A = this chain, B = another copy of it.
Amino acid sequence: MRYSMINEAAARKLDSEDVLAHVRERFVIPDGTIYLDGNSLGLLTHAAQERVQQTVTQEWGQDLITSWNAHQWIDLPLRVGDRIGQLIGAATGQVVCCDSISVNLTKALVAALSVQTARGQRRHKVISTVDNFPTDLYMVQGLQDLLGKGNCELQLVEEKELNSTLTDDVSILMVTEVNFRTGRRLPIAELTRLAHENNILVIVDLAHSAGAMPVCLDEWQVDFAVGCTYKYLNGGPGAPAFVYAAERHHATMQQPLRGWMGHAKPFEFSNDYQPAAGIRQFLAGTPPVTAMVAVEGALTAFDHVDLKDVRDKSLRLARLFHDLLHDAGLTQMLQCIAPEQEAQRGSQLAYAFEHAYGLCQALIERGVIADFRAPNYIRFGFTPLYTSYHEIWLAVQIIRDVIATEDHLDPRWQQRNAVT
């Protein structure tokens, strides 16, 4: 349903009816800022702020080394992992918080290859999409160069060709659920079903899904997944990522980054690596506690929040944004590159626009934070936990004003120096 003729009062009314409106109080909202970039770096929560303060001042500062037991630092990666698991449809013991997406992807790729080998499958092809997030592709390329193409070979296809590519010579399908540029959401359940029909294992990158919409890894029978915590999970800049491995693979999978934290008996300091049971074996080195407690704190923002409500509000915010842009006569100039159908969308809208970089900078100057992606896209992220309908209304007024005054053409924006 289209939003039409929404004025400021009507936008405020939408907020008054919003079941998630109260969750906004859990966040630190910067004055004078309309933040539409939670798909890149989520807002700070009061809980994360307090948790970091407490950990640094008391746990590290006063209790020091004893905190590994006294404050259960030692269980942090699994504890946080299980909490993330609740948001991505994973039963306990299958998710661990650690390292970066990139590093975790290497673990998942090697683990998946090892499962195929254990099954007697001699396949080496890894299928992914041409517009997957580049780092995901780089990790496969790194492995390809390390192992040789005979053991791991990346093949890139268009998203729409995926189904026809899932043939029985493929070892792994590696996809990102929501495309970082276009916001297109892939049908993971269906792709996994097709892949499994041909004994292909599925690795999913949830960077733009976790915390933005319901994800059902167990139900969809995904094999491995990775994701970051600094976007919709609000864990803080560069916060530790997570990795999921379906329980059915725990006994056979092997991952190469064998740190002491993933050992069955880490404190025996034995010379021979013996993987811990379950997902713990995906741990490598000592985790960055100061950063990980921020994630744990941030996740409390999801307490008593239904992800169906999050998804519902996400789509409404996006629809309102686009409809207001349309009413303002701007959707010819700004070409939406998101799929038409809402079910195929993530929690962002991206627009192709010749002056996307200038528009982005001019908006930032007026307190509307979006981001630019090369070559000519401006992305707006919608984060239902803290974004209000009124903010969407205001943002569109400001966009209209920038374009009317041609601020986006200001010579200051000629030099491109993108932020992440």
Contact = CB atoms under 8 A, between A and B. Distances in A.
A329 interface: no
Contact of A134 (B68, B143, B269): B269
A146 B152 CA distance: 12
Interface string A45-71: 000110011001101111111111100
Range of interface residues on A (Cβ < 8 Å): 35 or more
B64 A369 contact: yes
B271 A130 contact: yes
Copies of this chain, count: 2
Contacts of A289: 236-238, 291
B257 A106 contact: yes
A420 B30 contact: no
A145 interface: yes
Interface in A180-217: 181
Given A257-B106, A260-B135, A156 B271 contact: yes
A139 to B, nearest CB: 6
Given A284-B100, A285-B100, A256 B145 contact: yes
Interface in A292-315: 292, 294
A37 interface: yes
B238 A66 contact: no
A147 interface: yes
A373 to B, nearest CB: 7
A28 B62 CA distance: 8
A298 B205 CA distance: 35
A37 to B, nearest CB: 5
B139 A259 contact: yes
Contacts of A285: 99-103, 135, 238, 241
A292 B260 CA distance: 22
13 contacts: A30-B64, A41-B60, A49-B57, A52-B56, A56-B236, A65-B419, A69-B417, A99-B103, A100-B259, A237-B286, A237-B290, A240-B288, A289-B291
Closest 4 CB pairs of A and B: A100-B285, A102-B259, A102-B285, A237-B289
